[in-house]
Chains A and B, each alone.
Chain A
Amino acid sequence: MRLADRRKWRLRLRDLAAGAAFSAVALSGALPLPVTVLFVISLGVSLLGRRPFANQRVWSVLALLAVAVVLFGLVSRGALDLVVAAVGFATLVTAHRMLSEPTPATDQQVLLASLLLMAGAAALSGDVLYAVCLLAFGVFACLSLGLSVVEGPIERDEELPLTPVLRQVSIGVAIALMGGIAFFVLFPRLSWNVAARRTGAGVFGGTTGMSDRVRLGGGGDIKTSARVVLRAKLEPAPRGDRLDRYWVGRHFDLFDGREWRASGEPGMPKPRIMRAEVGGILQRIELTPAYGSRTLVGLEQPIYFGPATALGNTGTSPVQLVQVGRDEVRFAEEANAYTYVVHSRSDVPQLEQDRAALEALHALPPELDPRISELAARLADQATEAEDVAPLFERYLRNNLNYTLELPGEVDDPLTDFLFVRKEGHCEHFATALAVMLRTRGIPARVVGGFFGGERLGERFVVRAGDAHAWVEAYSPARGWMTFDATPESGRGSRPPAIFSRLVDAYERLEELWRSRVVDYTIIDQWEFVRKLVRPPAGASSAADEPDPVGPAGERTPTRAILGAFAAGLLVLLLWRRFMKGPSGAHPAAGFLVDVERKLQGLAIQKQPGEDLEALTKRLQSEQHLLAEPLSRATRRYLEARFGDRPLLKEERRALLEGLERR
C-alpha cells in the first residue's frame, strides 16, 4: 500500500476512534447541544479529508481558548457541571485536532483527547452502549496508532504491506481487552459507586410521563413503544415471567366531559412517606430517563415510599418526596432517573375518612349525555354497592365495545362517541366510561393512571412505556377502595412490533447483565466470584444435605479452582506460543515448492538422492522430458519468489501448477 492510501486509512481509523469516544459521551445526553453539533460537523469534514485549521493555527487555538474561558465562566456560575464542561472542552479539542494538519503527532493528540472523552463518558453514563463505544474506540485507536508507528518519523512513499501489521495489532488488542477484563474482575475494589452516574439523561428523553391531565381522544401510540421506563426488584420475588399487576401512579378525580384532572396541592418535602404499617411486597424501583416524570410508581396499594435517590448530570444525590393531594407522591427535584423503595399491601382495606372528598367523587360533567345514566341504571338494576355494580359495567363494556388504538379525528363528546357511536376506544375511554357510569349510580369512582404488567429480565421485572394504562378505583364503604378494569385483557399490556420488541428485549437483557456484572460490581461480587471458583456452590449437588464422605466442605479439594487454573494456564501458554511463534517461519514461497514436489510425485517423477529442484529440472531438460519446460518455468519462478523478492501471486501459482498437470 502506498503512502497516500496508508495515510487515508490511518486518518479514517483515527476519526472513527474519535467518533466512538464522542458517541460514548453523546449517549449520556449530558453534552451541550452546540458542542455536539460542532463535533458532528468536524467529524464529517475530517472524514471528507478537509483540514480547515491546517493554515489557521493561531486563530483556531485562540477560538478554543475563548470557548475554555466561556466554559469556565459557566462552571464558576454554577450553570454547568464541572465534568460536563471538561468533557465538552475535550470534545472541542478533539475536533480541533482532527481538523488540523494531519501528522503522526496530531493523530496521537486526537487519540489522547478521545481517551479523555472515554474517561469522561465513564463518569457521565452507565449504559451498556458505553461498552460498545469502548470496544470500538480501543480497536480503531490501536489500529491507527499501529499504522502511525510503522510509518516512522519520516513518511516515505514506498510500498508497505500493512495486512501483517493490522493482523498483529488486532490480535494484540483482543488480548489487551481480555487483560482489561481480567483486571476489572480481579482488582480489589476499595470503594464503589461513590460518584458514579449510573445513567445519563438519554438521547431520546422521556416517553410516557405522567401528565396532570388525561384528555380523551387521539390514538394510543404509546402502546407500541417497547422502551423500558421502570425496573423493579421485588421481594418476595413472584413466580413466573410475567407480572400482570397494576403499577399505580396518579389518581384523577375531576372530569369535565373531555378530560380528567387531579385535585390536591403539594405538601412539604419529606424523606419518606408512610400510609400504613410496612409489609407486603418490597419493591426496589429504578425509573429510567425514558419515564420522564416525577411521579413515583408502586405496585397496587402502595403504603410506603422510602428513601429515594436522584441520578442527575451532577451525580447521585438523595431526593425528598412530596405528597400531592391524598394519593400521589412526587420527587421534590427534577433528575434524569430515580431509584427508591416502595412497600405495597393489598391486604389492608383502604378506607376513606374524608367524607367531603368522597362526595366530590360523585361529580358528573354538566352536559353528560342522559343515555349514559340510563345505560348505567339499566345495567345495575337493583345493585347499589361498588363490588356488585362495577363488575356488571365491566362485563358490558368488555363485551359490547372494542379495543382500538386508532382513533382519528376530534369529537365534541368523546365519551358518548365511545359508548354509542364509534363503540371502540382504548384504556382511557374504557376507564372513563366505567368511572362515569359508577358515579351516575352514586358510587365514588376515580381514574387511575399507571402501568399494567411487567416482564422478568434476570432478577428484575421491567415495565415498558407501552404498558401505560388507565383503570378505575371505586369506593365501597365496607371494603374501601377497590380496583376495576373495563379494558379488555388484550388491550392492557404493551403492543410493540414483534421484531422491535425482541430487539429491545435483547438490549434490556444485555443492559441488565451489564448493570449487574459491571456497573454494580463490588468487592462482595469479587469475593463471591473467588469463593465460587475455589469451592463448589452450596446446593450444587443434589445430595448436598447428605453427609459428605470426603469431609467438611471447607476441606474439599478445590477441583473447580484447579481445573480453572489449569485451563487458564493452558490458554495463556497456547496464546503465548502462538503469539511468540507468529506466522510460520517458512518463506511464503516454500508452500509452492511443496506443491510442486507433490505434483511431481503424483506424476511419478522421482528425485534422485540429494537432487534439488534445479538439478531435477536440468536432468529433465537433458532427457528432453515433456515436463522439462513447465517445470523449468515453475523452478525459475520459485527461485525468483524465494530469493529475488518477487512474491508469487495466487493466480500465477495456480497456473504454474496446472501447467505441470496438463503434461
Chain B
Amino acid sequence: MSSEKREPRQKNGWRRSLKTTRVGRTYLVITVGIGLGALNTGNNLLYLVLGFLLSIIVLSGVLSERVIADVRVKRLLPDGAFAHEPFALRYEVSRVKGRAFAVKVSEGGGTLEGWAWIPTVLAGSPVTVRADVTAPRRGPLRLKQVQISTFFPFGLFEKSRTVDLEDLILVWPRRGFSCDPPEADHGRMSGESGNQRHRDGAGDIQGLRELGELEDARRVHWKKSATAGKLLKVEREREDRKQYTLRIDDDAPGDHLERACEETAALTNRLLGEGNDVGLEAGGRRIRPASGPGHEKRILSALASLGYAVPRSEPLP
C-alpha cells in the first residue's frame, strides 16, 4: 500500500534532447581539428589530447544525465497573467537523492516563453524559483510538459528532459489601445444603483436610516443597531460615478475578436481606474457593472475565455 503514497514518477520514457551551445560548437570544431591533426601526423600527444577531449564530451553526457534524471518539478500557477506580458510562474524543484546543478526549468512545447534558473538543488530541500514567462496568446492555455535542462558540467551542451505535467492557466487579453468609452448606461441600473436617492457611496457619512427590504446588509451599523434595537443602515455620500456595460457582439474567433478583447480589457482597466462601474456583455454572458480589483479579474477572465470552450472540471484562477 505504500506505493499509493508515492509521488507519481515524472519519468516518461527516455525523452532527452541535446543542444550544442556556442562554446560547445567551438569545442567540437577544435576537437575535430585535433583529431584530424592526430590522424594525419600520428603525433601521439595529439592523440592524448584528443582522448581527453572526447572523454570530456562523454563525461558531459553522463553528468548532465545524472543532474536531470531525478529532478522533480511542480508548477505554482499565478492568479492571473496577461498575454504578451511577462508574468511570474513559480516552480518547486526537488530531488529525492543526490544533487543537481545548473538546472533550467521551462515550459515544454514552447507554450510559454521564459525559464527559471536554479544553481543547486539538494536532496530533500525543495527550491522554489520564479520564471518570468510570457504567454503568446489570450485564452485558456493548457500546460502539458515541463522541460528540465542543464548545462552542467562544462556548458558545452544543453541536455533537456521533458516531463509530463498538466495544468491550465487562463491568460487574460493584453491591455492594448482603448478608444473613447461607450455611452454610460441609463435606466438599466438594477437594485439600489438606479435610485437617485440612495446613498451607498464611499464618501463621508451622511446619516443612519432603517435598513429597507432587500437592501445590502453589509451597510448595517451594528453598534447603533444594537442600541436602537433595529437594523440601521449607514448612508454615505455617493461619488459622481457612471456605469458602463461593455459589449462584444461578435465572438467568432479571429483577429477581430482578439482586438475587441484587448480593447475591452484596456477600457475596463481605464474606466475602473476612473472610479466607474463596469460591466460586460459578451458571448452570451453578462456581468453586472461593478467596481474593484476582483471585478476587473472577473471581466478579464470572461474576456479570456471568449471564443474558447473552457473545461468545467478545471477550476480557473
**Distance (whole angstroms) from the CB of A569 to the closest CB of chain B:** 17
Cα–Cα distance between A134 and B42 once the two chains are bound (Å): 18
Asked whether B59 lies within 8 Å of A165 as measured between CB atoms, the reply is: no
Asked whether B44 lies within 8 Å of A164 as measured between CB atoms, the reply is: no
One digit per residue, 1 when the CB lies within 8 angstroms of any chain A CB and 0 when it does not, for chain B 43-74 equals: 11111111111111011001100100000000
Cα–Cα distance between A581 and B69 once the two chains are bound (Å): 12
How many Cβ-Cβ contacts under 8 Å join chain A to chain B? 177
Cα–Cα distance between A173 and B154 once the two chains are bound (Å): 11
Asked whether B45 lies within 8 Å of A172 as measured between CB atoms, the reply is: no
Chain A residues near B48: list those with CB within 8 A. Answer: 122, 131, 134, 180-181, 184, 518
B76 interface hit (Cβ, 8 Å): no
**Distance (whole angstroms) from the CB of A653 to the closest CB of chain B:** 18
How many residues in A have their beta carbons less than 8 Å from beta carbons of B? 68
B295 interface hit (Cβ, 8 Å): no
Pick from B23, B34, B52 the residue with the most CB of A within 10 Å: B52
Among A138, A145, A192, A195, the residue within 8 A (CB) of B52 is A138
Asked whether B51 lies within 8 Å of A181 as measured between CB atoms, the reply is: yes
Q: Report if A180-B42 is in contact (Cβ < 8 Å); known contacts: A149-B151, A172-B153.
A: no
Cα–Cα distance between A286 and B49 once the two chains are bound (Å): 26
Chain B residues near A151: list those with CB within 8 A. Answer: 119
Cα–Cα distance between A160 and B55 once the two chains are bound (Å): 28
Cα–Cα distance between A154 and B53 once the two chains are bound (Å): 28
Cα–Cα distance between A189 and B41 once the two chains are bound (Å): 10
**Distance (whole angstroms) from the CB of B199 to the closest CB of chain A:** 53
Among A130, A161, A579, the residue within 8 A (CB) of B62 is A579
Asked whether B55 lies within 8 Å of A183 as measured between CB atoms, the reply is: yes
Interface residues in A564-618 by Cβ distance below 8 A to B read: 579-585, 587
- For A135, the closest partner residue in chain B by CB is B52
Interface residues in A144-182 by Cβ distance below 8 A to B read: 145-146, 148-154, 158, 160-161, 164-165, 168-169, 172-173, 175-182
Asked whether A187 lies within 8 Å of B102 as measured between CB atoms, the reply is: no
B96 interface hit (Cβ, 8 Å): yes
Asked whether A193 lies within 8 Å of B46 as measured between CB atoms, the reply is: no
Cα–Cα distance between A366 and B33 once the two chains are bound (Å): 68
One digit per residue, 1 when the CB lies within 8 angstroms of any chain A CB and 0 when it does not, for chain B 192-204 equals: 0000000000000
Asked whether A194 lies within 8 Å of B41 as measured between CB atoms, the reply is: yes
Cα–Cα distance between A172 and B30 once the two chains are bound (Å): 21
Cα–Cα distance between A472 and B167 once the two chains are bound (Å): 98
Asked whether B96 lies within 8 Å of A585 as measured between CB atoms, the reply is: yes
**Distance (whole angstroms) from the CB of A249 to the closest CB of chain B:** 32
Asked whether B155 lies within 8 Å of A108 as measured between CB atoms, the reply is: yes
Among B39, B44, B152, B153, the residue within 8 A (CB) of A190 is B39
One digit per residue, 1 when the CB lies within 8 angstroms of any chain B CB and 0 when it does not, for chain A 494-532 equals: 000000000000000000000000111100000000000
Task: Describe A's contact surface by its main secondary structure.
Answer: helix
Asked whether B45 lies within 8 Å of A179 as measured between CB atoms, the reply is: no
Asked whether A123 lies within 8 Å of B46 as measured between CB atoms, the reply is: yes
Cα–Cα distance between A646 and B136 once the two chains are bound (Å): 40
Chain A residues near B52: list those with CB within 8 A. Answer: 134, 138, 176-177, 179-180
**Distance (whole angstroms) from the CB of B240 to the closest CB of chain A:** 49
Chain B residues near A148: list those with CB within 8 A. Answer: 155
Q: Report if A115-B30 is in contact (Cβ < 8 Å); known contacts: A122-B43, A193-B42, A519-B45.
A: yes
B12 interface hit (Cβ, 8 Å): no
Pick from B23, B27, B34 the residue with the most CB of A within 10 Å: B23
Task: Describe B's contact surface by its main secondary structure.
Answer: helix
Cα–Cα distance between A179 and B48 once the two chains are bound (Å): 10
One digit per residue, 1 when the CB lies within 8 angstroms of any chain A CB and 0 when it does not, for chain B 258-296 equals: 000000000000000000000000000000000000000
- For B154, the closest partner residue in chain A by CB is A145
Asked whether A176 lies within 8 Å of B44 as measured between CB atoms, the reply is: no
Asked whether A112 lies within 8 Å of B23 as measured between CB atoms, the reply is: yes
Asked whether A191 lies within 8 Å of B39 as measured between CB atoms, the reply is: yes
Chain B residues near A518: list those with CB within 8 A. Answer: 44-45, 48
How many residues in B have their beta carbons less than 8 Å from beta carbons of A? 47
Asked whether A585 lies within 8 Å of B41 as measured between CB atoms, the reply is: no
**Distance (whole angstroms) from the CB of A205 to the closest CB of chain B:** 23
Cα–Cα distance between A580 and B63 once the two chains are bound (Å): 9
Cα–Cα distance between A204 and B33 once the two chains are bound (Å): 32
Chain B residues near A192: list those with CB within 8 A. Answer: 42, 44
Cα–Cα distance between A498 and B34 once the two chains are bound (Å): 42
Q: Report if A190-B42 is in contact (Cβ < 8 Å); known contacts: A179-B54, A583-B98.
A: yes
B222 interface hit (Cβ, 8 Å): no
Chain A residues near B181: list those with CB within 8 A. Answer: none
A389 interface hit (Cβ, 8 Å): no
Among A108, A152, A195, the residue within 8 A (CB) of B43 is A195
- Of B78-86, B120-128, B213-221, B227-235, the one with at least 4 CB within 8 A of chain A: B120-128
Chain B residues near A520: list those with CB within 8 A. Answer: 44
Asked whether B59 lies within 8 Å of A146 as measured between CB atoms, the reply is: no
- For B41, the closest partner residue in chain A by CB is A195
Cα–Cα distance between A645 and B99 once the two chains are bound (Å): 15
Among A134, A149, A189, A521, the residue within 8 A (CB) of B152 is A149
Chain B residues near A585: list those with CB within 8 A. Answer: 96-98, 123-124
Chain A residues near B117: list those with CB within 8 A. Answer: 152-154
A126 interface hit (Cβ, 8 Å): yes
Among B37, B66, B101, B125, the residue within 8 A (CB) of A165 is B101
A118 interface hit (Cβ, 8 Å): yes
Chain A residues near B119: list those with CB within 8 A. Answer: 150-152, 158, 160
Asked whether B102 lies within 8 Å of A196 as measured between CB atoms, the reply is: no
A119 interface hit (Cβ, 8 Å): yes
One digit per residue, 1 when the CB lies within 8 angstroms of any chain A CB and 0 when it does not, for chain B 1-34 equals: 0000000000000000000000100110010011
Asked whether B41 lies within 8 Å of A582 as measured between CB atoms, the reply is: no
Asked whether B44 lies within 8 Å of A175 as measured between CB atoms, the reply is: no
A142 interface hit (Cβ, 8 Å): yes
Cα–Cα distance between A183 and B153 once the two chains are bound (Å): 21
B313 interface hit (Cβ, 8 Å): no
A68 interface hit (Cβ, 8 Å): no
Q: Report if A179-B55 is in contact (Cβ < 8 Å); known contacts: A193-B42, A196-B41.
A: yes
Cα–Cα distance between A173 and B97 once the two chains are bound (Å): 22
Chain B residues near A582: list those with CB within 8 A. Answer: 66, 97-99
Asked whether A176 lies within 8 Å of B56 as measured between CB atoms, the reply is: yes
**Distance (whole angstroms) from the CB of A362 to the closest CB of chain B:** 55
B40 interface hit (Cβ, 8 Å): yes
Cα–Cα distance between A615 and B59 once the two chains are bound (Å): 47
Chain B residues near A145: list those with CB within 8 A. Answer: 153-155
A332 interface hit (Cβ, 8 Å): no
Asked whether A126 lies within 8 Å of B45 as measured between CB atoms, the reply is: yes
Q: Report if A184-B120 is in contact (Cβ < 8 Å); known contacts: A119-B46, A130-B45, A521-B44.
A: no
Chain B residues near A195: list those with CB within 8 A. Answer: 40-43
- For B48, the closest partner residue in chain A by CB is A184
Cα–Cα distance between A533 and B48 once the two chains are bound (Å): 22
- For A182, the closest partner residue in chain B by CB is B51
One digit per residue, 1 when the CB lies within 8 angstroms of any chain B CB and 0 when it does not, for chain A 467-511 equals: 000000000000000000000000000000000000000000000
Chain A residues near B30: list those with CB within 8 A. Answer: 112, 115-116, 119
Asked whether A118 lies within 8 Å of B23 as measured between CB atoms, the reply is: no
- For B34, the closest partner residue in chain A by CB is A119
Cα–Cα distance between A642 and B124 once the two chains are bound (Å): 8
A-B CB proximity, top 3 nearest: A585-B97, A183-B51, A179-B55
Beyond known contacts A112-B30, A115-B27, A154-B117: 15 more, CB 8 A cutoff: A108-B155, A115-B30, A122-B46, A142-B154, A149-B154, A150-B119, A150-B120, A151-B119, A172-B62, A172-B63, A177-B55, A180-B48, A187-B47, A192-B44, A518-B45
The 10 sampled A-B contact pairs (Cβ below 8 Å) are: A119-B33, A122-B49, A149-B153, A176-B59, A179-B59, A187-B51, A192-B44, A193-B44, A195-B42, A518-B45
Contact residues of B with A, CB < 8 Å? 23, 26-27, 30, 33-34, 37, 39-56, 58-59, 62-63, 66, 96-99, 101-102, 117, 119-120, 123-125, 151-155
